[in-house]
Structure 1
Amino acid sequence: MTSISHSHSNATVELQYQGLLEKLMVSTLSTVPSCVFLYVNGTMLFSLRSKPVFCGTPRYVLLYNLLFADTVQLALSQVMYILAVCRVKLLYPVCGFLILLTHLTSGMSPLTLVLMSLERYVAVCYPLRHTTIITIRNTAVAITAVWAVSSLNNLTRLLLSFPFQKLGILQVKDLCSNIAVMLGSVSREYDEAFTCVVFVSAGVAITSSYISVAAAARSASADKTSARKARNTLLLHLVQLGLSLSSTIYNPLLIALSRTVTRIVIVRIQNVFYVCFVILPRCLSSLIYGLRDQRIRPVLIYHLCCRLRLVKGSSQRPS
């Protein structure tokens, strides 16, 4: 997960080798999609708080938590990117806060996907007990636990390697990045171990849920339609997990490519990877659930169109 915050600033460290026109074009091509997806995610978050049915349904509450973390992560990514492009140097406390917040939100997605997968597993395999197991209270406790785990991970990394002796220094010497505020290899090794454990555990949990749901769908008493939708949702969770994992291989892949191509080519590849591995994964949740879910879709479209619904024959507000 250190690769995310590190890559945002490093993505433009070598931009001085490019011409001004190319720099502006590349920055625009990266910033415009990010702003569009931030608008979509923000609208989705507003939509999930606009109806009591969304606020009182555990799976929508979990979706809100996932979207919130992804939206904050996307906003932080773009802020770090713009700061790197403009060569802005921050104070150590400010830079450290941005890095810690980036790590906090980046760890939320895989953990929240596990909760969402378990909710679908209980809904299909234990339909009669679903309403007693998956309650709003239990969901709130699970979300609190996820935030606590991510916060504890952040605190551990902070205690392991943050250069507290540099807090007296007003300004970071280089661009704000993970390397600029962290010292030694202890933090990197710890973060790699934590990331490995989280993603392996999440992959096992989602895959096991999918297998259980697929097995339950074959039974005569199962709701075939519900089981099929749950199975498809779990497959999407696996795709989302893979996209989240792709950000962790961002730096190793660029390092490998840097041995065979020039700096200018690497800078251009970095910007493409930034859009594909950082921006895109954090907008898919809105697109996936917003367009697939029959309850969310009309509300999302309604708000995206600024309350001007273009529907043939009528323009009734969605219920």
Structure 2
Amino acid sequence: MLYSHFSVIIKVCVVIPFFCIFLCCIAVMLQIFASQRQFLDISRYILFAHMLINDTLQILSSVLLFLFVMGQVKFPLLFCVPLLFVSTGTFQNTTLILAAMSLERYVAIFYPLHRPTSWRSDRIWIIILPLWFISFLFPIIEFFIEKHNPALDILSSNMLCKATVINSSPIQGLYRLAVNVLFFTVVGVIILFTYVRILLETRKLRQDRASVSKAMHTVLLHGFQLLLCMLAFTSPISETLVLHKKWPAEDVAFFNFFCFMLMPRFLSPLIYGFRDQSLRKHIGKMFHLNKKILNL
């Protein structure tokens, strides 16, 4: 019993600092987007800002679910389901935004002067809104696939808020697997297509070689970000590897949650944000300004 309480405290003390650091970095980047008008006039920065917002919602919902499970907090289905929808929907939306960012680089390279209307900065919402709609549509469908117990009162029946508890039927598990495979396959094909097309057409373009090379590296980075997201599906492998060591199930679940869910979400936007020269310059200025204020 003492070990169990100590283990929960350690896990919370590990997750919360990372979460706070992540929120600080995201807040700085979003503050830059809000204060620097030039970023809102470029489609790829608008898409990146949406990825930051999406990943913040994903991390926030995941950490809340983690804390509720750690504390064995039970509450009605009415409050649990929306939280699970946000967690699942934003997880899937990350991959779609990565695909959109890769396609934006493709459009910028191949159609620099005659960019399609939907890819212009003032119309990019035509691309963004369907991504959010599709991402949240699938979790809703999953929830209603299986008939739930009619005796279950959504207001008074308290339960542990976990996806395996709410969506526990085999058909829902199969549906969830099929959707994840579909999302990651489609996005992987899009990223591979854009990278290969830019690579093959490099010699034919009359544009600056440096900008084309930068676009290739950006698309390659999106592929790396996708691989980070796919780490979430390696949980069964780690569970199998540590099974013979007889580790507590809750410790294995935390290891998977921290290493394969949280860390990729921490690293993905930060790598992209700090890699960008314009963003990095403004981030440096902001930290330098804050340091001066603190020294006053």
TM-score, reference length from structure 1? 0.83
1:273-313 superposed Cα distances (whole Å, 9 cap, x missing partner): 32221112212243223222122112223445663369xxx
The residue number in structure 2 matching 1:238 is 223
1: CA distance, partners of 2:163 / 2:289: 39
1:170 pairs with 2:156: yes
Structure with the larger RCO, 1 or 2 (CA within 8 Å, 6+ apart): 1
Of residues 135, 156, 164, the one that matches 2:120 is 135
Of residues 254, 257, 263, the one that matches 2:241 is 257
2: CA distance, partners of 1:70 / 1:299: 21
Of residues 142, 146, 160, the one that matches 1:157 is 142
Aligned residue runs from structure 1 range 276-287, under 5 A: 276-287=259-270
Aligned residue runs from structure 1 range 104-119, under 5 A: 104-119=89-104
Tell me, yes or no, if the aligned pair for 2:234 and 2:260 is still in contact at 8 Å.
no
2: CA distance, partners of 1:289 / 1:147: 21
Q: How far apart are 1:17 and its partner, in Å?
A: 7.8
Aligned residue runs from structure 1 range 1-319, under 5 A: 18-130=3-115, 134-161=119-146, 163=148, 165=150, 166-168=152-154, 170-173=156-159, 175-219=160-204, 221-250=206-235, 252-257=236-241, 259-264=243-248, 266-304=249-287, 307-308=290-291
1: CA distance, partners of 2:167 / 2:21: 32
Structure 1's consecutive aligned runs of 4 or more residues displaced over 6 angstroms after TM superposition are none
Tell me, yes or no, if the aligned pair for 1:45 and 1:64 is still in contact at 8 Å.
yes
1:2-34 superposed Cα distances (whole Å, 9 cap, x missing partner): xxxxxxxxxxxxxx6834334322321122112
Residue type of the alignment partner of 2:200: A
Q: How many residues align?
A: 292
Q: How far apart are 1:224 and its partner, in Å?
A: 0.8
1:111-140 superposed Cα distances (whole Å, 9 cap, x missing partner): 011110001011122323237562124411
Gaps of 5+ in 2: none
2: CA distance, partners of 1:140 / 1:291: 25
1: CA distance, partners of 2:283 / 2:231: 28
Aligned-pair Cα RMSD in Å: 2.3
Is the alpha carbon distance of 1:138 and 1:86 closer, same or farther for their aligned partners in structure 2, counting shifts above 3 Å? same
2: CA distance, partners of 1:305 / 1:167: 54
2: CA distance, partners of 1:253 / 1:309: 48
2: CA distance, partners of 1:24 / 1:101: 26
Residue type of the alignment partner of 1:119: E
SS in structure 2 at match of 1:307: helix
Give aligned-pair identity as a percent.
26
Q: How far apart are 1:253 and its partner, in Å?
A: 2.3
1:76-109 superposed Cα distances (whole Å, 9 cap, x missing partner): 1111111111111111111111111111111111
Q: How far apart are 1:152 and its partner, in Å?
A: 1.9
1: CA distance, partners of 2:22 / 2:80: 24
Tell me, yes or no, if the aligned pair for 1:160 and 1:187 is still in contact at 8 Å.
yes
Q: How far apart are 1:145 and its partner, in Å?
A: 0.9
Counting helix residues as a fraction of each chain, which structure ranks higher? 2
